[in-house]
Amino acid sequence: MSLKSQTIIALFAIFLLAYSCKNSSTSDYKIFRYNESKGIPTLDPAFARNQTIIWPTSNIFNGLVQLDNQLHVQPDIATHWKSSDDKLIHTFYLRTDVYFHEHELFGEKKTRKVTAQDFVYSFNRIIDPATSSPGAWIFANTDKNFGFNGFYALNDSVLQIKLTKPFVPFVAMLAMPYCMVVPKEAIDFLGDKFGQNPIGTGPFSFALWDLNNKLILKRNPIYFECDSLGNQLPYLDAIHISFIADKQSEFMEFLLGKIDFISGINATNKDELLTRDGQLRQKHHDKFYLQTYPYLNTEYLGFNLDSTKPGYVEKEVREALNYAFDRERMVVFLRNNLAIPANVSLTPPILYPDGSKQPKGYEFNQEKAINILKNAGYGTSKELKPITLTTTPDYLDIAEFFQHQAKQIGVKIVIETATGAAFRQKVANGDLPFFRASWIADYPHAENYLSLFYSKNLTPAGPNYTKFISPLYDSLYLQISTNEQFEHLIPKADSIVMSEAAVVPLFYDVVVRVVNKRVTNLPINSLNAISLKRTRVSDE
């Protein structure tokens, strides 16, 4: 079938859906439009490792559970669940009214009901080495002697998962797109092409993919969720995703009303949209509105603590650099005040248990930084050698700001830039003595950040890029991750890392969106997820 024919069919399908909706006419299609400048490599949830894939897959597929805007675990296909007293067996009770998107693969009825066995298949697909899913780690702790690799369907509507040891965030992890259900028939028939022809259960189904041009998802007419008034979700007729690579061109399309929102503010456009204190400029108030929310993304500079490596930075110098860095000033001048200075640790404050306080960190104190170096003998008996900081080009402004402040206490920072896979490989291999990094949480629990310093997570196998090793820390980490009664130990664990000055926390990021006023009920949360099932757009 030609591309033109596919486009006509897809648009005709959207037309029919719009016509069938209550109080709709043939001229008021409700289409939400956004741009994905980096392109979308796949729509297979097994490979949903970054936001470009997560956004569309989250609207095509469903999992056992989902996260609300406050990141609390809520039912999705599972109506409820319970855990055994030892927290090893988790039992999920499934809805019986969830069907896969209509497709000829399902035979005469063109669909079928989702069962517990579908989750057994989907989860085993994730851990199958042949799949090579980057989400396989989620189920590394399942008891492979229970059921089928830790997963067992008691019947069509009851699923059990057994772990080898308790893990506090486990149920929340199941909200990740990796864990969304897929039909075996589609994988068997489509193979590697499933990512270009996805079949899920979500509020939107696949309609058209014109590579390097656009992706269209259409309303799923058999979606199982309704609103509080009994109206079937979603409200939109379609989602239109464009692939404009140039950020300036994307911005112009947004100003012209051809794109409904932009997420994240490009450096070249931030002063056009935002004031110095992070407010939307008055001239844009008639057409757009600003959304901001704390983001589970911590930006930091990491030291390689392996003292046998070239360029190793002594503890006193690491401490001095932490005190010499004015995070508040950096946030105002380089981030238009749309970030939270990270003076304390990598763990964002919103992940701390209620009532607990963050440990003492590094407030800006240039005089103290100078005294630390002086007392350690630098400048007299010890030579203060230049330190090489490696960063990606998009964070060069922060690196140069840090370089300038380090100079004020007599420390010379040499900046080197590296890009993409080459940079990530150098960090993973432990080749860099000092590097820029970030950590975006996969799930809403402090353990996700604490895992960066657990000794069994040393690179290249794990995310302990700093090669931090502390038996006391490991003990606290294991208590926190296996028993929710020990969450009060989170500040203590963080304080151990910061007492060694293993990192220079920069800032806790903020989700920033500018949205066309025709869009209402666009949800926002600390994972910067986008669920469009309750979003509305007004007539154009």
pLDDT digits (tens, 9 = 90+) for 134-187: 999 999 999 999 999 999 999 999 999 999 999 999 999 999 999 999 999 999
Q: Which residues of 372-392 are buried (b: 16+ CB within 10 A; e: fewer)?
A: bbeebebeeeeebeebbbbbb
Q: Which two tokens stand for residue 188?
A: 């068997």
Give me the domains of the chain, ranges plus CATH numbers.
62-200 (3.90.76.10), 295-510 (3.10.105.10)
Closest listed residue to residue 43, CA positions, set 177, 134, 221: 177
Return the pLDDT at 239.
Answer: 98
CA distances in angstroms from 191 to 120, 146, 211, listed in the order given: 18, 28, 19
Q: Which two tokens stand for residue 504?
A: 């220079």
Residues in Cβ contact with 490 at an 8 Å cutoff, skipping those fewer than 6 apart:
347, 351, 352, 353, 356, 446, 450, 480
Euclidean distance between CA atoms 315 and 48, whole angstroms: 38
Place of tokens 């085993």: 124
- Beta bridge partner(s), residue 290: 514
CA dihedral 401, 405, 407, 410 (to 10 degrees): -160
3 state SS of 525 = coil
The fraction of the chain above a pLDDT of 90, given in percent, is 85
User: What Å distances lie between residue 133 and 48, 340, 438, CA to CA?
Assistant: 9, 33, 22
Question: Does the predicted TM-score (pTM) go above 0.75?
Answer: yes
How does pLDDT run along the chain (540 residues), one tens digit per residue?
443 444 444 445 444 444 433 444 435 789 999 999 999 999 999 999 999 999 999 999 999 999 999 999 999 999 999 999 999 999 999 999 999 999 999 999 999 999 999 999 999 999 999 999 999 999 999 999 999 999 999 999 999 999 999 999 999 999 999 999 999 999 999 999 999 999 999 999 999 999 889 999 999 999 999 999 999 999 999 999 999 999 999 999 999 999 999 998 887 888 899 998 899 999 999 999 999 999 999 999 999 999 999 999 999 999 999 999 999 999 999 999 999 999 889 999 899 887 777 788 899 999 999 999 999 999 887 889 999 999 999 899 999 999 999 999 999 999 999 988 889 899 999 999 999 999 999 999 999 999 999 999 999 989 999 999 999 999 999 999 999 899 899 999 999 999 999 999 999 999 999 999 999 999 999 999 999 999 999 975
Helices 471-482 and 490-499, packing angle to 10 deg: 150
Query: Which token pair is 185?
Result: 């028939």
Rounded Cα gap, residues 356 and 179, in angstroms: 32
Determine what percent of the chain is predicted with pLDDT higher than 70.
Answer: 95
The per-residue pLDDT for range 179-219, each reduced to its tens digit, is: 999 999 999 999 999 999 999 999 999 999 998 899 999 99
